């Protein structure tokens, strides 16, 4: 059994591997023909995907083939071997195209699922973004409240500091007053002792003065008596 040729061809920018008994040149020729036909169909019709394009191209090739087959049926211009060879290549291309169509279908389904997942993730992201913005606003509000409270606390701390300084000043004044009172009390104590001394001295002097006055009176009385003696 002859070894089949595996040829990589490109149809509509997609790579395909064709296995055939035919030569590489012939396989490439067939692939170029199919590529030309697909591009021709794509240029004249609105095609939504590769599968539709493949079907339309296959119909177009089949139409050309049947017309050629009918025109040359009696003349038998195409040898049976050549016809089988062409059919084999077309079948191989059709199989490869069908395989690619299946892959494209899977890819379309995957893309659709990815698009759905993306939309869901986008909705979730938008929802999270809204929640995040809300939380961010709440945090900003809380930070502003904290800063306001901090300013109030700083102001109260200043007031407390001023009050503390005032109290300290008052305490110093009280201490000075207490010191002055102590001095006055000490002076008062000294003055009280001096007063008592002065009173005692006054009483003594008063007593002495009374005694002197009595003596003076006695002396005057003696003097009077003495004078009276001379008068008599």
Q: What is the pLDDT along the chain (232 residues), one digit of tens a residue?
A: 456 778 888 877 788 787 877 788 887 888 888 888 878 877 765 555 666 667 666 766 766 666 666 666 654 544 666 667 777 777 777 777 777 778 777 877 888 888 888 888 888 888 888 888 999 889 998 889 888 888 888 888 888 888 888 888 888 888 888 888 778 777 777 777 777 777 787 788 888 878 887 888 777 787 777 777 766 5
pTM of the model: 0.34
Task: State residue 197's pLDDT score.
Answer: 79
Residue 5 and residue 27 in contact, taking contact as beta carbons nearer than 8 Å: yes
Residue 170, domain member (yes or no):
no
Range of the domain at 13: 5-116
Residue 92, domain member (yes or no):
yes
Residue 35, domain member (yes or no):
yes
Domains identified in the chain, total number = 1
Residue 15, domain member (yes or no):
yes
Question: Kind and range of the H or E element at 18?
Answer: strand 14-20
Residue 136, domain member (yes or no):
no
Residue 216, domain member (yes or no):
no
The three state secondary structure string of 157-198 is HHHHHHHHHHHHHHHHHHHHHHHHHHHHHHHHHHHHHHHHHH
Residue 21 and residue 6 in contact, taking contact as beta carbons nearer than 8 Å: no
In angstroms, the CA 122 to CA 115 distance is: 10
Residue 58, domain member (yes or no):
yes
Residue 179, domain member (yes or no):
no
């Amino acid at each position: 059994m002859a070894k089949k040729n595996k040829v990589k061809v490109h149809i509509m920018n997609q790579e395909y591997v064709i296995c055939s008994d035919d030569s590489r040149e012939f396989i490439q020729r067939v692939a170029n023909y199919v590529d030309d036909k697909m591009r021709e169909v794509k240029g004249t019709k609105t095609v939504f995907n590769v599968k539709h394009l493949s079907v339309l191209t296959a119909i177009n090739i089949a139409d050309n083939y049947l017309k050629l087959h009918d025109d040359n049926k009696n003349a038998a211009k195409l040898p049976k071997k050549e016809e089988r060879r062409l059919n084999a290549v077309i079948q191989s291309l059709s199989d490869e195209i069908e395989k690619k169509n299946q892959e494209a279908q899977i890819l379309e389904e995957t893309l659709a699922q990815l698009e759905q997942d993306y939309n869901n993730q986008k909705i979730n992201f938008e929802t999270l973004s809204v929640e995040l913005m809300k939380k961010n606003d709440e945090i900003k509000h809380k930070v502003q409240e904290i800063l306001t409270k901090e300013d109030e606390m700083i102001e109260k701390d200043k007031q407390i500091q001023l009050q503390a300084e005032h109290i300290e000043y008052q305490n110093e004044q009280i201490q000075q007053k207490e010191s002055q009172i102590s001095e006055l009390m000490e002076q008062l104590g000294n003055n009280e002792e001096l007063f008592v001394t002065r009173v005692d001295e006054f009483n003594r002097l008063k007593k002495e003065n009374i005694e002197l006055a009595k003596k003076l009176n006695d002396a005057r009385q003696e003097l009077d008596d003495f004078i009276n003696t001379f008068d008599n």
